[in-house]
């Protein structure tokens, strides 16, 4: 299968690099297009096998899947450029742009030359895609079950992909895309607390990272609710429950929920 990626900045570049790290794609299967030569040079340094192009209409010519990984405000101009060269019956369009709805994408792809509705996917990964550990949300428009399975499988190469309805995209972005920043902020705060308690900064960060990883591994391995694992370490009258209660007094859980709701609007 041939893939074209338009825009190989942070996310687009991570997708291209991640795909060739897996088993399903070779660099020669992937054409990359970008206005910035330094981005193309960086990709060639990573793997000389990538097909390089600076003309988006030529870049999509042989593609089965076209991934548009540009900033949201650039999507319209890119789609206006390629829509008359896009094969609406055979090619799949994937947009990585947050906040650009299917209604908008279909509007941008309207063409007098094509009366068939294009197959479009919206995909929202997070920055952990760089290390093949993204929580990625996938939503489809005019797609068959086989096409949905194809795109989910593609992004499972880069972590974990979940097929959802478009109306959940904003919530998914808050939980996973913005959410990775919230998790990192907890790690930073805990590391600073560790320094205040006497650890060197690097030690404190390493302790917190291993602790967070352990918590995640526990939940994944045991398939338990977080509260069940919390109960195992909160002995009556103990130090853990005192710490948790102090955090809740400062609004820990409510602040997290309020932040998520705010970022989903």
Q: What is the pLDDT of residues 100-122, one digit of tens each?
A: 999 999 999 987 777 788 999 99
The ranges assigned to domains in the chain are 3-166, 179-263
Q: What is the pLDDT of residues 211-242, one digit of tens each?
A: 999 999 999 999 999 999 999 999 999 999 99
**3-166 adopts what CATH topology?**
Rossmann fold (3.40.50)
Sheet holding 30-33, edge to edge: 51-53, 30-33, 3-6, 65-68, 92-95, 119-124, 134-141, 159-163
Q: Which residues of 30-40 are buried (b: 16+ CB within 10 A; e: fewer)?
A: bbbbbeeeebb
User: Please, which pLDDT band fits residue 15 given cuts at 50, 70 and 90?
Assistant: very high
> Can you give the pLDDT at residue 33?
95
Task: For the domain covering 179-263, report its CATH number.
Answer: 1.10.3730.10
User: Per-residue pLDDT averaged across 8-30, rounded?
Assistant: 91
The model's pTM is 0.89
> Can you give the pLDDT at residue 238?
93
pLDDT averaged over the chain?
A: 93
């Amino acid at each position: 299968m041939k893939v074209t990626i338009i825009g190989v900045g942070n996310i687009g570049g991570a997708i291209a690099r991640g795909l060739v790290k897996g088993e399903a794609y070779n660099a020669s299967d992937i054409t990359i297009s970008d206005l910035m030569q330094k981005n193309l040079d960086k990709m060639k340094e990573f793997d000389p096998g990538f097909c390089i192009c600076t003309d988006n209409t030529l870049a999509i010519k042989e593609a089965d899947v076209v991934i548009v990984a540009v900033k949201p405000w650039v999507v319209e101009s890119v789609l206006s450029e390629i829509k008359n060269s896009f094969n609406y019956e055979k090619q799949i369009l994937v947009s990585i742009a947050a906040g650009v709805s299917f209604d908008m994408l279909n509007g941008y792809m309207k063409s007098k030359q094509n009366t068939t509705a294009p197959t479009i996917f919206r995909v929202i990964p997070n920055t952990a895609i760089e290390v093949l550990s993204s929580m990625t949300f996938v939503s489809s428009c005019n797609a068959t079950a086989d096409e949905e399975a194809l795109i989910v499988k593609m992004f499972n190469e880069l972590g974990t992909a979940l097929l959802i309805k478009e109306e959940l995209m904003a919530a998914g972005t808050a939980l996973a895309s913005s959410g990775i920043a919230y998790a990192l902020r907890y790690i930073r705060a805990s590391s600073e607390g560790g320094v205040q308690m006497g650890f060197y900064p690097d030690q404190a960060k390493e302790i917190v990272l291993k602790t967070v990883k352990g918590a995640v591994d526990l939940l994944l391995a045991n398939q338990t609710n977080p509260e069940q694992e919390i109960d195992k370490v909160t002995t009556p009258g103990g130090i853990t429950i005192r710490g948790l209660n102090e955090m809740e007094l400062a609004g820990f859980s409510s602040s997290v929920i309020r932040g998520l709701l705010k970022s989903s609007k």
